[in-house]
Amino acid sequence: MSYTRLVESVSTYEPNEDLQWIIGRITNSKRVIVFGTGRSGDVADAFVKFLRNIGVDQTFGPNDVPYVFGPCDLLVAISGSGSTQYTIEVAKVAKEGGSFIISLTSDQASPLAAISDKIILIPGARKWKETDYFVNNLLGTSTAPLTPLGTLFELRSLLFLLSIVSYIRGQELIESYRKLVALIKEFEPPSDYYERLYEILPKASEYAKQKTTVLGEGLSGIVGRFFSTRLRHLSKGNAERPVNFWLDKGSVAVRRDDLVFIISGSASEFFANLAEKAKTKGAKVATVTSFQDSRLSKVSDLTLVIPGRQIFKLKGLRSSYFPQDPKYSAFELRTLFFLESFIHYVAEKENISETDIKMMHSDFT
């Protein structure tokens, strides 16, 4: 699926209901807890950080869920299938504590929807079943690995929740959603980006020695985590594709011919320093940034330029900040969609099926 087709697929959904009530729920709740696992957890994490940045201070994400829920709390639970065990367990505890539960899901008949006070239906996900694979084989059909494994749900959920941030700030919800889609559409990656990135990418094998380590901070870090999860799933049979997100382990040592993949719209000096260190150990460095002439770009073996990052010079402001207005996240959103279309490119090139990808999914969420 190309970048353009992916954007078009995501944008066929638009929020179409009156959601004025959600502003009151978010701003008047004592605490707002946003939860999901895997890529839905990345979406939850992004929403939480944006809420904090616009002044909703008592907001908690997937990594800092309170031990005790109360009647003045709001839980926003994100699960495309509505049957993710860990998410359901958190929702059950919240229900017992009297919290108000809003679920984002693709299945209004799911267990999560059944215990929610409000359901926001976002199409795009279904629970994968092994029988689907055999039915597809009998019919001679196949399903692209992007859609059935929930990616449309998560991308739509992210754009929806960022639109909610704009909505709280006084902007029109649907108009905000359309503006974000338009920002993504304004860019289209050059066709050679896919092959150039694929050439430098360590390949999956049964005895894989080279690994990919993904680096990024702020919203770019969330995009990096999302990409890490997807890339890790791209293998078949007994082969594995080792992929780390740099903050997920206490220590990640790079070796010769490893790939260090950096997402930094601002091309920060911090990441330029890390890139130089990786190069001294024989690793290759690929960078996605908005600034071609930066020191980070010059250090890198491959630089993919995606425009959209704006630099704000304020004292005490880190380069990995979250903007208050989601429209200033053009670089990160375009990068997310590019990398997701790259996942599809690799799956097609290596003949990796939906079933192969599913077999690499976590068994504990």
Please state, in angstroms and rounded to a whole number, the distance separating the CA atoms of residues 61 and 43.
10
pLDDT value at 146 more than 60: no
Question: Running DSSP on this structure, what letter comes out for residue 202?
Answer: P
Under a CB-based contact definition with an 8 Å cutoff, are residues 213 and 259 in contact?
yes
pLDDT value at 69 more than 90: yes
pLDDT at site 248: 80
pLDDT value at 114 more than 80: yes
Tokens 């429209």 correspond to 327
User: What are the structure tokens assigned to 172, written together?
Assistant: 């029109």
The dihedral sign for the CA sequence 230, 296, 159, 144: negative
Please state, in angstroms and rounded to a whole number, the distance separating the CA atoms of residues 262 and 276.
12
Confidence of residue 151 (pLDDT cuts 50, 70, 90): confident
Please state, in angstroms and rounded to a whole number, the distance separating the CA atoms of residues 111 and 301.
48
Q: Would residue 32 count as lying in a domain?
A: yes
Q: Would residue 365 count as lying in a domain?
A: no
pLDDT at site 150: 53
Q: For residue 265, what are the β-bridge partners? A: none
Confidence of residue 340 (pLDDT cuts 50, 70, 90): very high
* CA 34 to each of CA 47, 312, 351: distance values in angstroms, whole numbers, following the listed order: 8, 28, 36
Q: Would residue 327 count as lying in a domain?
A: yes
Please state, in angstroms and rounded to a whole number, the distance separating the CA atoms of residues 150 and 124.
6
The domain total for the chain is 2
pLDDT at site 356: 81
For residues 160 and 12, state if they share a domain.
Answer: yes
- Surface-to-core class of residue 171, CB atoms within 10 Å of its CB (0-12 exposed, 13-18 middle, 19+ buried): middle
For residues 112 and 178, state if they share a domain.
Answer: yes
**Which strands form 259-263's sheet, in the order they lie side by side?**
243-245, 212-215, 259-263, 284-289, 302-305
For residues 232 and 115, state if they share a domain.
Answer: no
Q: Would residue 129 count as lying in a domain?
A: yes
Q: Would residue 364 count as lying in a domain?
A: no
For residues 180 and 195, state if they share a domain.
Answer: no
For residues 158 and 91, state if they share a domain.
Answer: yes
Q: Which of 184, 216, 233 is the last residue of a domain?
A: 184
For residues 278 and 232, state if they share a domain.
Answer: yes
pLDDT at site 363: 66
- Give tens-digit pLDDT for 81-111: 999 999 999 999 999 999 999 999 999 999 9
Q: Where are the alpha helices (DSSP H) in 12-110?
A: 20-28, 38-53, 85-96
pLDDT at site 193: 98
Side chain identity, residue 86: Y
Please state, in angstroms and rounded to a whole number, the distance separating the CA atoms of residues 265 and 118.
37
CATH code, domain carrying 344 = 3.40.50.10490
- Within 10 angstroms of residue 75's Cβ, the number of other Cβ atoms is 28
Q: Which domain holds residue 229?
A: 190-359
Under a CB-based contact definition with an 8 Å cutoff, are residues 256 and 281 in contact?
yes
For residues 354 and 224, state if they share a domain.
Answer: yes
For residues 166 and 241, state if they share a domain.
Answer: no
Q: Would residue 350 count as lying in a domain?
A: yes
Closest C-alpha to 104, from 88, 120, 115: 120
Please state, in angstroms and rounded to a whole number, the distance separating the CA atoms of residues 217 and 296.
15
Q: What is the pTM of this model?
A: 0.91
Among 132-141, 159-168, 182-191, 249-258, which is the least confidently predicted range?
Answer: 132-141
Under a CB-based contact definition with an 8 Å cutoff, are residues 139 and 169 in contact?
no
For residues 199 and 174, state if they share a domain.
Answer: no
For residues 133 and 234, state if they share a domain.
Answer: no
Q: Would residue 241 count as lying in a domain?
A: yes
Q: Which of 138, 167, 184 is the last residue of a domain?
A: 184
For residues 119 and 225, state if they share a domain.
Answer: no
Mean pLDDT of the chain: 89
Select the more confidently predicted residue: 103 or 134: 103
pLDDT at site 252: 83
Please state, in angstroms and rounded to a whole number, the distance separating the CA atoms of residues 340 and 128.
19
For residues 33 and 103, state if they share a domain.
Answer: yes
pLDDT at site 148: 35
Q: Which of 160, 184, 208 is the last residue of a domain?
A: 184
pLDDT value at 321 more than 70: no
- Give tens-digit pLDDT for 234-280: 988 889 999 999 988 666 889 999 999 999 999 999 999 999 999 99
Q: Would residue 140 count as lying in a domain?
A: yes
pLDDT at site 124: 84
